[in-house]
């Protein structure tokens, strides 16, 4: 009896066939020159449905960080309401709070209890750049822990092309400053990584999903790895839940006194 073709595999083969046809006589050219085309509506719909499924989530994560300052391991708890809201609290293995990151539309905050300091910025990119060296857009950062592509990337400008080992998706930010390359593994179709770059840079940062995350809405990421030239943040996701909603207090700092406030916007303006 002929073995039936898995629906996801059929979908991938159809998309790959379309990309290959458009490549035409260019098939002997380098892979980077293979022309891209607008992504099929079915693929865009699948990616949007996945992002919608993860519109609210919470999780526990084992976090590993590598930076010029050293290597660290900690536990993390996340509460998120993409694209703008994230609470990420890191604790030591003994339960002591190491830092608390809050991203919200009205601004970004990082509290470091041991230093008795609170860092603030009007935009999440500013705070993430100060500590990670790269201005990651909040929607990219928040959706990455759920293994999703932000809906604002899934426009008519989202293009696809066949890659060496799967499918590549291309998108840009609204200001056309950033280029995003999304790598999909084949059979079944799954999100494998993101490469983000500006200007002539080949890479500002990467986000990898190990293993690749299936496009089915309920599929959970296992390990999410964010890295640039100088740092790495690895989160092994556990206990992912879908609450009906999150209270406003989830995205507020606790009552604190005696803290030093550092305004990263003023520091950036002052050079």
- What is the model's pLDDT at position 79? 98
- What is the model's pLDDT at position 163? 83
Q: What token pair was written down for 166?
A: 């799967």
Could you tell me which residues come within 8 angstroms of residue 91 by beta carbon, excluding any fewer than 6 positions away? 74, 75, 76, 77, 97, 98
- What is the model's pLDDT at position 202? 79
Q: Under CATH, which number does the domain 76-133+244-269 receive?
A: 2.50.20.10
* Span 57-86, pLDDT tens digits: 999 999 999 999 899 999 999 999 999 999
Query: pLDDT over 70 for what percent of the chain?
Result: 86
User: Across-strand partners of 112?
Assistant: 117
* Span 230-252, pLDDT tens digits: 899 999 999 999 999 999 999 99
- What is the model's pLDDT at position 234? 98
Q: What token pair was written down for 163?
A: 């890659």
* Span 133-171, pLDDT tens digits: 899 999 999 999 999 999 999 998 899 998 888 899 999
pTM, full prediction: 0.84
Give the model's confidence band at 229: pLDDT under 50 very low, under 70 low, under 90 confident, else very high: confident
- What is the model's pLDDT at position 269? 65
Residues 181, 149 contacting (CB under 8 angstroms): no
Integer Cα distance of 200 and 186 in angstroms:
29
Q: Check residues 187 and 20 and name the one with the higher pLDDT.
A: 187
- What is the model's pLDDT at position 78? 98
Give the model's confidence band at 4: pLDDT under 50 very low, under 70 low, under 90 confident, else very high: very low
Percent helix, strand and coil across the chain, each to the nearest 5:
25, 40, 35
Mean predicted confidence (pLDDT) in 102-115: 97
Phi, psi of 51 (to 5 degrees): -60, -40
CA distances from 159 to 39, 143, 181, 250 (A): 5, 20, 10, 37
Between β-strands 117-121 and 107-112, what pairing exists: parallel, antiparallel or unpaired?
antiparallel
**Shortest CA distance to 19 belongs to which of 8, 7, 31?**
31
107-112, long-range: CB < 8 A, 24+ apart: 108/138, 109/253, 111/253, 111/256, 111/259
Three-class secondary structure of residue 235 per DSSP? strand
* Span 250-264, pLDDT tens digits: 999 998 999 999 999
* Mean pLDDT rounded to a whole number for the chain: 87
Q: Map out the domains of the chain as residue ranges.
A: 76-133+244-269
């Amino acid at each position: 009896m002929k073995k039936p073709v898995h629906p996801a595999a059929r979908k991938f083969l159809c998309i790959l066939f379309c990309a290959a046809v458009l490549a035409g006589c260019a098939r002997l050219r380098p892979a980077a020159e293979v022309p891209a085309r607008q992504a099929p509506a079915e693929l865009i719909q699948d990616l949007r449905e996945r992002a919608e499924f993860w519109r609210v989530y919470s999780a526990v994560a084992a976090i590993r960080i590598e930076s010029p300052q050293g290597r660290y391991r900690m536990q993390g708890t996340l509460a998120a309401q993409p694209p703008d809201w994230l609470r990420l609290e890191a604790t030591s293995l003994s339960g002591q709070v190491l830092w608390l990151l809050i991203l919200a539309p009205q601004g970004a905050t990082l509290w470091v209890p041991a230093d008795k300091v609170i860092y603030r910025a009007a935009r999440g990119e500013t705070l993430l750049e100060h500590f990670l060296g790269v201005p990651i857009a909040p929607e990219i950062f928040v959706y990455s822990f759920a293994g999703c592509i932000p809906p604002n990337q899934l426009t008519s400008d989202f293009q696809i092309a066949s890659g060496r080992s799967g499918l590549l998706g291309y998108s840009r930010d609204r200001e056309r400053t950033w280029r995003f390359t999304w790598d999909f593994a084949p059979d079944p179709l799954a999100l494998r990584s993101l490469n983000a770059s500006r200007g002539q840079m080949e890479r500002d940062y990467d986000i990898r999903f190990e293993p690749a995350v299936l496009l089915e809405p309920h599929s959970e990421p296992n390990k999410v790895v964010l890295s640039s030239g100088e740092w790495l943040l690895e989160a092994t996701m556990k206990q992912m839940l879908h609450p009906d909603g999150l209270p406003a207090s989830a995205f507020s700092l606790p009552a604190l006194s005696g803290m030093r406030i550092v305004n990263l916007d003023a520091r950036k303006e002052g050079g």
